[in-house]
Amino acid sequence: MTLTRENCAALDARDPLAPLRGQFALDQVDRAGIIYLDGNSLGVLPKTAIARIREVVEREWGVGLIRSWNAAGWIDLSQRIGDKIAPLIGAGPGEVMVADSTSVNVFKALHAALAINPPSPRASAAQARTRILSERINFPTDLYIAETLARDRGLELVLVDRDALESHLDDRVAILMLTHANYQTGHLHDMEAVTSAAHRAGAVTIWDLAHSAGAVPVDLTTAGADFAVGCGYKYLNGGPGAAAFIWANPSHIARLDRDGFRQPLSGWLGHAAPFAFTPDYQPAPGMARFICGTPPVLSMAALECGVDTVLAAGDRGGMTAIREKSLALTDLFMTLLEDRCARVFTIVTPRDHKQRGSQVSIAFAEDLPSVAQGAMGDGYAIMQALIARGVIGDFRPPAILRFGFTPLYTRFVDVWDAVDRLADVMQANEWRDPKFSVRAAVT
Amino acid sequence: MTLTRENCAALDARDPLAPLRGQFALDQVDRAGIIYLDGNSLGVLPKTAIARIREVVEREWGVGLIRSWNAAGWIDLSQRIGDKIAPLIGAGPGEVMVADSTSVNVFKALHAALAINPPSPRASAAQARTRILSERINFPTDLYIAETLARDRGLELVLVDRDALESHLDDRVAILMLTHANYQTGHLHDMEAVTSAAHRAGAVTIWDLAHSAGAVPVDLTTAGADFAVGCGYKYLNGGPGAAAFIWANPSHIARLDRDGFRQPLSGWLGHAAPFAFTPDYQPAPGMARFICGTPPVLSMAALECGVDTVLAAGDRGGMTAIREKSLALTDLFMTLLEDRCARVFTIVTPRDHKQRGSQVSIAFAEDLPSVAQGAMGDGYAIMQALIARGVIGDFRPPAILRFGFTPLYTRFVDVWDAVDRLADVMQANEWRDPKFSVRAAVT
């Protein structure tokens, strides 16, 4: 049986999350016929953010001025938004702080992890626990931060393929740093199993939740994870460049407290008494020490609205319902793609639900031989042609076309229409128009 | 001759910068009878920011979505706003990057300074250049970041009083780190003279321009300064928690380039080719390597509007005119204070124009004996009582009442009215009302 657009419309009609699409300012996007499948790169605008940011700008900043640090609660934003993110990732109150960028939080988490699992040489040099282990295709910024830290601290960043991770978990590894759902392939790690394997090897884990927070149920506590960071502007819909978050296992927080741990970015808002203005640093108790400088209040306000859009699913099944719809959307996309573009594309993202985040990555099959030899594929031009047809995904070199599915606003008919237009682009060879090969700054 | 309010109104009438006050959304503030003398903590809202942020939220984020990274130039914000700040601080195009917070940029600058002036032990341990020298009352976050870095790198953070700085500039000092205009006292360093003294001693300088960028003419190039950082939300009017900036002397940039220097926060947007997504880090040439993660776009948009309000003074005398009015405002405040509150307050900020930023700090004279013995003074209650009268300054423990004067929007009559109300508060002993002693989170 071939699926029809009507089948998809029927799925939307009985989707319990469908009403939540009304939270987003998509009127103009819809009128323009745009299908947005890039919420894994930048989530769409919550309607509440429009009024909220106006309020922050015009009333809190404009009229309240400096008084708004207290009166409007700016000073609590890092904790308050952190506490809202916490239930989405299996964390408790006070365990999540929103601050800085993901990159900066990876840096803090690496330092904290090294404090918990110090890489001091042991009996012999061969036994020294001096490795940071990660995936070769982990998101580059995580790798870049770890690479420089490894150089500066005399450690070794070891990058391997996913399949080789477990065999590399030995007593040389201090930290296993992974992104829960891979940005490129959409491959999802089994957080609990991988964390257990890491612990058996004596390593601590840092999980980057950039592509899972708000999209995939995450339970850091049950998984026994050690540290986590995550991004505010993808599935949390926090707006461009929204601040990121950082979490540590409560047992580690207690130990960091006991040891008086200070992370290297020991700025004034992570001080135990920031407004005492004492010349010497005293870390704030608990996770607040991971705050550094003054947070970007306007961007923080947007992030809070974004997180609220995910929390709004709470009485409709919450993350479980989001996950169920996410899998249905990605299943549908794969099925339709095989119906309509059989053999044109290779589906890179695993079919197995347990191994999949909320995106589908595909590669243009003709690209693969040349890409294997180091060339850049035609996937870029295909994505540009598809965007010209109003379907927005993105391209990740050398060969990946990425499509992100945010269950809060992506409809089943959107999936149908997206594949329909992709099939047209391919059948009509639209993507061969040379204009689609011209690269923009951001791809 | 006693000055009158009419004298002050006359000064406003012939102030060439007076029309620039119209750039700011002060209608409600004025109607409420608020006199805002805290622009050194949070600058007021530029009118253009209201429309600009709406545009960024509703059109660029809401409709443009991911495409706005290119189409709306988000990807260039760090450089574009940096290039606007550059002429205000005597820097050239491409030399200033806007990114992260001041605290984070202090961290980057310290690392870069240590790369330029490596603290390797020399002939004898006594001669090792292992000191970071700063002022005991430098802004705490600068000290906190340096303190932790010194611990981590086996260096020594040496804090002395201003008068003792020169005598401590010896061959043990690697870095002299100072805030140009002190946050507490308003005391201004002679950047050129101090930089020369540091260089004679073989030290490199890091200048924090938080309280001078946009308020005091700064010429980093002429001063031969080495590194600088600064804050976006004070005299640059960039909004609460606006991103900060970082500068390095072009000669150092060339050397960092030559040496392949990587700062520890080597995030993906400081990569030579961020969108190539290669697993290994390659620093971007020049200052761009000081960018780390994705910038908070909404807050960046507000900052650009704020910087534009300062640039708007360009055809009215620019920073020279701003400085002239700043000195006239602070002179007037001191004169009126002595007229109206003689002996009640001690003026902490230097009378000498060359040693003064754009704020006046005063202490309640009765406080000083007890404060000298470690007690907290009554200055806090006095400031709260004054704020209740609509004059907003702030308090910095243990004894400082701070008043910031932003020449773009502070009028001479504002100064008259502020002192008038302060005199009333003191004469009527309003501040002794116990309610004014209750501390808020942010003071």
pLDDT along chain B (443 residues), means of 10: 91 98 98 98 98 98 97 97 98 98 98 87 63 97 98 96 97 97 98 98 97 98 98 98 98 96 97 93 97 97 98 98 98 97 95 98 93 88 97 94 98 98 97 88 57
| Interatomic CA distance for residues B282 and B284, integer angstroms | 6
B179, B136 Cβ separation under 8 angstroms: no
The two tokens of residue A91 are 């964390």
Could you tell me if residue B41 is inside a domain? Answer: no
Looking at residues A184-204, what average pLDDT do you find? 97
The total domain count for chain A is 2
Residues A79 and A192 in one domain: yes
SS3 of residue B360 by DSSP? strand
| Interatomic CA distance for residues B390 and B411, integer angstroms | 15
| Interatomic CA distance for residues B14 and B321, integer angstroms | 13
Residues A294 and A327 in one domain: no
**What pLDDT score was predicted for residue A374?**
84
Q: What residues have CB less than 8 Å from A188, skipping those under 6 apart? A: A180, A181, A182, A212, A216, A350, A354, A355, A356, A357
Could you tell me if residue B300 is inside a domain? Answer: yes
**What pLDDT score was predicted for residue B157?**
98
Among the candidates A310, A326, A346, a domain finishes at A310
Q: Which tens digit of pLDDT belongs to each residue from A208-247?
A: 999 999 999 999 999 999 999 999 999 999 999 999 999 9
Count the Cβ atoms, other than its own, within 10 Å of residue B170: 13
- Residue A396: closest CA among chain B residues belongs to which residue? B277
- Give the rounded distance of the alpha carbon of A23 from its chain centre: 21
Looking at residues A130-151, what average pLDDT do you find? 97
Count the Cβ atoms, other than its own, within 10 Å of residue A28: 12
Residues A145 and A235 in one domain: yes
Could you tell me if residue B245 is inside a domain? Answer: yes
Helices (H) and strands (E) in chain A, counts: 16, 13
Test mutation, B27, B237, B261, B299, chain A, max A CBs within 10 A: B299
Tokens 């009015």 correspond to B325
* DSSP 8-state secondary structure symbol assigned to residue B316: G
The CATH number covering residue B160 comes to 3.40.640.10
Tell whether B54 is within 8 A of chain A (Cβ). Answer: yes
**What pLDDT score was predicted for residue B123?**
47
Band the pLDDT of A353: cuts 50, 70, 90: very high
Strand duo B391-392 + B227-230: pairing: unpaired
Count the Cβ atoms, other than its own, within 10 Å of residue B243: 31
**What pLDDT score was predicted for residue A128?**
78
Q: Which tens digit of pLDDT belongs to each residue from A232-243?
A: 999 999 999 999
What is the maximum alpha-carbon separation in chain A? Answer: 73
Do residue B293 and residue A50 have CB atoms under 8 angstroms apart? no
Residues A410 and A300 in one domain: no
Residues B89 and B137 in one domain: yes
CA distance A396 to chain B (A): 8
Of chain A, the percentage scoring pLDDT greater than 90 comes to 91
C-alpha separations of B230 from A38, B85, B182, B204, B242 in Å:
35, 10, 13, 17, 11
Tell whether A99 is within 8 A of chain B (Cβ). Answer: no
Beta strand spans in A167-263 (E): 173-179, 204-208, 227-230, 245-248
Residues B347 and B226 in one domain: no
Band the pLDDT of A377: cuts 50, 70, 90: confident
**What pLDDT score was predicted for residue A122?**
52
Q: Which tens digit of pLDDT belongs to each residue from B5-46?
A: 999 999 999 999 999 999 999 999 999 999 999 999 999 999
Could you tell me if residue B429 is inside a domain? Answer: yes
Could you tell me if residue A270 is inside a domain? Answer: yes
**B442 vs A5, more confident:** A5
- Residue B55: closest CA among chain A residues belongs to which residue? A50
Residues A301 and A322 in one domain: no
The two tokens of residue A39 are 């919420």
The two tokens of residue A248 are 């540590």
- Partner residues linked to B156 by β-bridges: B131
Could you tell me if residue A42 is inside a domain? Answer: no
| Interatomic CA distance for residues B340 and B342, integer angstroms | 6
A289, A263 Cβ separation under 8 angstroms: yes
Q: Which of A:215-244 have CB within 8 Å of B?
A: 233, 239-244
Among the candidates B287, B310, B333, a domain finishes at B310
Count the Cβ atoms, other than its own, within 10 Å of residue A369: 10
Among the candidates B257, B289, B310, a domain finishes at B310
Do residue A275 and residue B441 have CB atoms under 8 angstroms apart? yes
SS3 of residue A109 by DSSP? helix
Nearest to B66 among A70, A265, A394 (CB): A394
**What pLDDT score was predicted for residue B124?**
52
List chain A residues with CB under 8 Å of B387.
67
Write out the residue range of the structural domain in which residue A143 sits: 53-310
Do residue B241 and residue A144 have CB atoms under 8 angstroms apart? no
The CATH number covering residue B323 comes to 3.90.1150.10
SS3 of residue B345 by DSSP? strand
Looking at residues A332-351, what average pLDDT do you find? 96
Could you tell me if residue A443 is inside a domain? Answer: no
Q: Where are the alpha helices (DSSP H) in A94-139?
A: 102-116
A107, B264 Cβ separation under 8 angstroms: yes
SS3 of residue B394 by DSSP? strand
> Which residues of B are tagged catalytic?
139, 208, 233-234, 402
Band the pLDDT of A438: cuts 50, 70, 90: confident
- Partner residues linked to B359 by β-bridges: B404
Tell whether A428 is within 8 A of chain B (Cβ). Answer: no
Q: Which of A:154-183 have CB within 8 Å of B?
A: 159
Residues counted in chain B: 443
**What pLDDT score was predicted for residue A441?**
57
Count the Cβ atoms, other than its own, within 10 Å of residue B47: 16
Q: Which tens digit of pLDDT belongs to each residue from A29-63?
A: 999 999 999 999 999 999 999 999 999 999 999 99
- Partner residues linked to A360 by β-bridges: A403
pTM of the model: 0.97
Residues B100 and B203 in one domain: yes
* DSSP 8-state secondary structure symbol assigned to residue B441: S
Residues B127 and B238 in one domain: yes
A245, A82 Cβ separation under 8 angstroms: yes
Residues A89 and A212 in one domain: yes
Instruction: Tell me if ipTM is over 0.85.
Output: yes
Q: Which of B333, B109, B339 is nearest to B226 (CA)?
A: B109
pLDDT at A157 exceeding the cut of 90: yes
Do residue B241 and residue A42 have CB atoms under 8 angstroms apart? no
Q: What residues have CB less than 8 Å from A147, skipping those under 6 apart? A: A157, B266, B280, B281
Residues A182 and A262 in one domain: yes
Q: Which amino acid is at A336?
A: L
Do residue B293 and residue A102 have CB atoms under 8 angstroms apart? yes
Q: Which of A69, A387, A365 is nearest to B233 (CA)?
A: A69
Residues B14 and B155 in one domain: no
Could you tell me if residue B240 is inside a domain? Answer: yes
